[in-house]
Amino acid sequence: MKEIRIHARAGQGAITTAMLLGEAVFAEDKYALAFPYFGAARMGAPMNAFVRINDKPIRLRSQIYEPDYIIVVDATLLRGFDVFKGLKKGGIAIINKREGIQAPKIKDAKIYEIPANDIAQKILGRPLGNTALLGAFAAATGEVELKSLEAAVVKRFPGKMGEKNAEAVKAGFEAVSKEKK
């Protein structure tokens, strides 16, 4: 089983991100659980979404304290929050890069800082980096295929918005692939 913890602020689309990832791995005949935890239950307040991926049905319903992977949708959460808490040895973190905020170096973990909001601004015309982050996640972890994510995004957002988000997924994927080289 692989466990992913997403850090965001309420209203930034972390639940959709988690659901899209679940949908994509489901298309690969795997099981997924995706669920949110709201802290203050207010727009803008820090919140988490969680995803578990496995080859068999998943029963564990607790939150995720020792994730294999972390996705940070809003880099301002790096200030004052330990978003890396519990990250497993050899874990991977994907951070939505933001000017002026530097991700720390984490021992035994790989961190990718991806300008996902810039990618989204260019492609979608709005700085919503979630789908680009998912593409980056696929490239960094290999847990899900690019085409499954693209299909999930097209299913979730019908019409032009779906196509553009699929483009954003691909751009996020390529950003990490480039860095890996």
Partner 1 sequence: MKEFIEGSYAIAKIIKLCKPGVISAYPITPQTHIVEGLAQIVADGELKSEFINVESEHSAASVVLGASAAGVRAYTATSSQGLLLMTEVLFNIAGMRLPLVLTCANRAISAPINIWNDHQDSVTVRDSGWIQLYAETVQEACDLHIQAYKITEDHNIQLPVMICIDGYLLTHCGEVVDMPSQGEVDKFLSPFSPLYKLDVANPITMGVLGDPDCYMETRYAIQETMKDVLKLIPKVAGDFEKAFGRLSGGLVEKYKTDDAEKILVAKGSLVGTLKDVVDDLRTKGVKIGVLKVVSHRPFPEDAIFDALKKAKYVGIVEKSISLGAYGPLYTDIKALFQGKKESPCINGFVIGLGGRDVTKESVKEIIDQISEFGPTNKFIGLKL
Q: In the complex, which residues of this chain contact partner 1 (CB under 8 A)?
A: 15, 18-19, 22-23, 26, 31-38, 41, 57-63, 65
Nearest CB to partner 1, comparing residues 11 and 127: 11
Nearest CB to partner 1, comparing residues 18 and 128: 18
Contacts of 108 (CB under 8 A, 6+ apart): 89, 90, 91
Nearest CB to partner 1, comparing residues 69 and 112: 69
Q: What is the end-to-end Cα distance of the chain in Å, rounded? A: 28
Nearest CB to partner 1, comparing residues 117 and 165: 165
Nearest CB to partner 1, comparing residues 23 and 118: 23
Task: Give min distance, CB of 146 to partner 1, in A.
Answer: 18
Task: Give min distance, CB of 152 to partner 1, in A.
Answer: 9
Find out whether 131 and 120 touch, Cβ atoms under 8 Å: yes
Find out whether 110 and 103 touch, Cβ atoms under 8 Å: no
Which of these, 103, 127, 100, lies nearest to 116 by C-alpha position? 127
Task: Give min distance, CB of 18 to partner 1, in A.
Answer: 7
Q: Which residues pair with 109 in a beta bridge?
A: 91
Contacts of 28 (CB under 8 A, 6+ apart): 144, 145, 148
Task: Give min distance, CB of 9 to partner 1, in A.
Answer: 17
- Helix/strand number for the chain, H first, E second: 5, 6
Nearest CB to partner 1, comparing residues 19 and 73: 19
Task: Give min distance, CB of 71 to partner 1, in A.
Answer: 15
Task: Give min distance, CB of 51 to partner 1, in A.
Answer: 8
Query: What backbone phi and psi angles, to 5 degrees, belong to 166?
Result: -60, -35
